[in-house]
Amino acid sequence: MIENLFSLQGKTALVSGASSGLGAYFAEVLAQAGAEVIIAARRVEKLDELAGKIVANGGRARVVAMDVASPESVELAFQAIDAMTGQLDILVNNAGISTKPGRFVEQEEDIWGGLLDVNLRGVWRVAREAAIRMKAHGSGTIINTGSIYSLCTGIMKTDYNVSKVAVAQLSKNMALELGRYGVRVNTLCPGYFASDINAAEFGTEKGREYIRKLVPQRLGEYRELAGPLLLLASDAGSFINGVALPVDGGSLLSPI
């Protein structure tokens, strides 16, 4: 039935980086579509707040502490998740950080490494744990949060850019390997959306000027990510595997 195409009734979804910004919104959308959501991040008090909101709106939410940069923390989190649910159907692998924009030649190794620890190794780590479980079960969908920087170059953001290109490639390699086991892996590539990650950048006149030069001439609104997220998370997207889907109002069409 067409009206049930995007339904997530009976599904369990894990969202990493759910304590703020896009991840918190993704968790609310998945819960509204019927999924039980397990929300993960380091700031557990924020997760508790979000879980309360989801439950107050009639949804189901569980909280798990997880630092994606720590193998031990991810292992413990998945032990907790295994105890919470027999089956993980959806992973939105969304935790990510940015660093202060700067030229490549000025970048310091520990800053570069710290970003990759979260945006690449962390994404890999969580994806792998979920994939092991989904493969054993014979179904699942993984949505890695990329960026338009998964699909283009970005001046002053080499570390972030490289991490997001790598995330899109990781998704494709995973899709290639796991497709035959009923597991789909795609990358959702948002354009610019206001959040803590870019508040400093877009809070300035220079930042606002930059946004005005984009094809959509504005930031995206969170609600504009709901449809693309549900497409990749639900059976509506059952034949979509290994794609990197930009949701950017066409920002990628015109380099600034």
Ligand X SMILES: NC(=O)c1ccc[n+]([C@@H]2O[C@H](COP(=O)([O-])OP(=O)(O)OC[C@H]3O[C@@H](n4cnc5c(N)ncnc54)[C@H](OP(=O)(O)O)[C@@H]3O)[C@@H](O)[C@H]2O)c1
Catalytic (active-site) positions = 160
What is the residue-wise DSSP string for 131-182? HHHHHHHT-EEEEEE--GGGSS--TT-HHHHHHHHHHHHHHHHHHHHHGGGT
CB of 118 to ligand X, least distance (A): 5
Binding mask 91-120 for ligand X (x = CB under 6 A): ---xxxx--------------------x--
With binding defined as CB under 6 A, does residue 41 bind ligand X?
yes
With binding defined as CB under 6 A, does residue 218 bind ligand X?
no
Adjacent-strand bridge partners of 246? 189
Give the Cα separation of 121 and 100 in Å (integer).
20
CB of 67 to ligand X, least distance (A): 4
Rounded to 10°, the helix 21-32/223-233 angle is 60
CB of 1 to ligand X, least distance (A): 32
Give the Cα separation of 151 and 202 in Å (integer).
21
Which position among 30, 38, 61, 68 is part of the footprint of ligand X (CB under 6 A)?
A: 68
CB of 144 to ligand X, least distance (A): 9
3-state secondary structure of 29: helix
With binding defined as CB under 6 A, does residue 69 bind ligand X?
yes
Give the Cα separation of 198 and 139 in Å (integer).
35
Query: Token pair of 216, please?
Result: 């959509």
CB of 181 to ligand X, least distance (A): 26
Which position among 8, 14, 23, 157 is part of the footprint of ligand X (CB under 6 A)?
A: 23
Q: Which of residues 46-65 bind ligand X (CB under 6 A)?
A: 46
Q: Which stretch binds ligand X (CB under 6 A): 80-88, 185-193, 205-213, 230-238?
A: 185-193
With binding defined as CB under 6 A, does residue 165 bind ligand X?
no
Q: Burial of 49 by CB count in 10 Å (0-12 exposed, 13-18 middle, 19+ buried)?
A: middle
Give the Cα separation of 126 and 224 in Å (integer).
26
With binding defined as CB under 6 A, does residue 246 bind ligand X?
no
Q: Give the residues lining the site for ligand X (CB under 6 A).
A: 16-23, 41-43, 46, 66-69, 94-97, 118, 122, 145, 147, 190, 192-193, 195-198
